[in-house]
Structure 1
């Protein structure tokens, strides 16, 4: 298939949305397949909200209560926080990883079948049967590829954690907090027995904290851009594991899938970065109102209701993201095979055709 013009990231998103909107059976099937992920994400997000809330409470208390004479220790918050951190990490690592892998494999398989099928329209039963045929032969390879992706992405997550930890550590050492922008004049004991300082404004500290925040913010944005760029290649590697196989019928997975993905995406890194960045920012933006307005302090019913709402939007975004990855993969692969005449990469693997 000849591609006359390069697909910009906007066109990729448009084609992905058009593919979903143009086939009601595909939308219905992907909706049913995303239900397990939707239900689990509600539980996971509620746990994550509680963890983030406790962590922020602990950090704020340590910073705002910083004093040369007395530093109160909130041991109870820390004791509750550590088990929650472990629980959230384990939930993300095991149940979420497997459910997300199943959902991803299904979305990629079904969208590719509809995209390449010559039957119009494709019946629901046919779509289910063909999707199952692909998934049952690809899950093991996709699991191996996803483990490689997890291994490669772990240093980036540690980078995010290091930047945040280093920022708060420097603030704690310099005494930043509610009283950090002031010169101390005298020390007074308040009603709770804590010592507070009367003070006047200090522009030097304000400037120092602004520079500190900008420096760490720039590093964070750099890591975010790197992660988005690399995740485009990792996601295409998962698509390769689902859709391609070697000439002997064996699936392509692990380092082979990631290498093939790298070859396909060479020269298209900017488009991949833009596509992944859109969905990453979308996922963060959906969560931010709940964290900013402290959903954990609201009534349980409202908290669950809003969490269910934004989890539903995240699941819809996840569907569009993986369909966009399929469109991006098809465009990159076709260009590479056209350029190299089906010799170097085309001899490595062949794509499943519905």
Structure 2
């Protein structure tokens, strides 16, 4: 308890729990992740098409064709782009958010049951399912409320990323309209604009990583924490408690969230760059299925690591609380 767990130690414990503690756990989590996996293939294909059309439309409207080479370029209108934006947004806010919440709740509950099990023999699949279902049934409404808060906060940050990127492209395109001005000061002006917007983007990325660590811990709290005689903890109370548990572990949690975020982005980039959704041979769906499978595996590891981090942080907080209470009682006795 004296040494804080590092990111690698958390990941090692999560991998040990998944691979060596109980064979029923990875099999159960695999079954629970199948609906999300199937839906993500369809969602990612829609996302790839939306990103490709958005890129072409912005390049066309901002006259960036000389700077960004487009293959099979064709003139696009808002009517070509808007339906895909609406479809992808609706898929993200309703089916994806709900499936992700259900999958997360089951992963957290099952990981907690296996992690805290004191039985000498590993839990059987039926027992694991029963205990996990019992937890999920009690906490699902609270987790839904907490997830709505998280969805609202994360969407606000994504709008910040989007606004920063669009504003950068808009300012850059305006500077090109003034040819004489751009000829004399274009390089310096572009460098300053890129520096400002790049700084904003990096700050938002770091803040998002830090906040997402607290949001993830808040969801874990909503699943596992129980207030004395009052049921579960959810909403703003769960988020406040998660930040209390995470005090002193901010750098570790930030690094872990950034690792999983970079992993998710890197696995998506090849298909986004090569527009797998536009391939008629079927290879695009195959490649999309492969990286969606990797994302689902990373998602399971992330939430198991969050469960391990939750129990570690909670134990340290309770230990400090007991030390303070013992110290205050000893001081009162001495006086």
**TM over 0.5, shorter chain:** yes
Range 287-296 or range 5-14, more displaced: 287-296
Match of 2:234 in 1: 253
Q: Is the 8 A contact 1:54 1:77 kept in 2?
A: no
- State TM-score, norm by structure 1: 0.84
Distance 1:39 1:330, change over 3 A: same
1:55-94 counterparts in 2 under 5 A? Answer: 55-64=54-63, 76-94=76-94
Bigger strand share = 1
1:348 aligned residue: none
1:324 aligns with 2:305: yes
> What is aligned with 1:295?
276
Q: Secondary structure at the match of 1:151?
A: helix
Matched, 1:44 2:43: yes
- Consecutive unaligned residues of structure 2, counting only runs of 5 or more, are 67-73, 326-335
SS at match of 1:175: helix
- CA deviations over 1:75-108 (Å, ceiling 9, x no partner): 7432111111111111100111110000000000
Contact 1:66-1:175 within 8 A present in 2 as well: no
SS in 2 for 1:64: coil
Alpha-carbon distance between aligned partners in 2 of 1:154 and 1:313, rounded to the nearest angstrom = 24
Task: Give a deviation string over 1:259-300, Cα, whole Å, max 9, x none.
Answer: 111111112111111111110111111111112223244334
Question: Judging changes above 3 Å, is the alpha-carbon distance between structure 1 residues 165 and 112 closer, same or farther for their aligned structure 2 residues?
Answer: same
Matched with 2:23 is 24
Residue 295 of structure 2: aligned partner = 314
CA distance in 2, matches of 1:203, 1:135: 64
1:202-222 Cα offsets, whole Å, 9 max, x none, are: 584234324322331221121
Distance change in 2, residues 1:342/1:261 (3 Å): farther
Distance change in 2, residues 1:88/1:342 (3 Å): farther
**SS at 1:340 equivalent:** helix
Count matched residues. 316
Aligned to 1:71: none
Distance 1:86 1:258 in 2: 30
Contact 1:141 1:252 in 2 (8 A): yes
Q: 2:120 matched to 1:139? A: no
1:216-245: CA deviations, max 9, x gaps? 122112101101101111111110110011
1:116 aligns with 2:116: yes
Instruction: Spell out, residue by residue over 1:307-350, the C-alpha distance to the aligned partner (whole angstroms, 9 max, x if none).
Output: 00000000000000000111111111111100011889xxxxxx
CA contact under 8 A between 1:66 and 1:172: conserved in structure 2? no
Deviation per residue, 1:154-181 (Å, 9 max, x gap): 32112111101101111221128xxx9x
SS in 2 for 1:341: helix
The reply to whether residue 9 of structure 1 matches residue 7 of structure 2 is: yes
Q: How far is 1:9 from its partner?
A: 1.1
Q: TM-score, normalised by structure 2?
A: 0.88
Partner of 1:282: 263
Q: Runs ≥4 in structure 1, deviation > 4 angstroms?
A: 201-204
CA RMSD across the alignment? 2.3
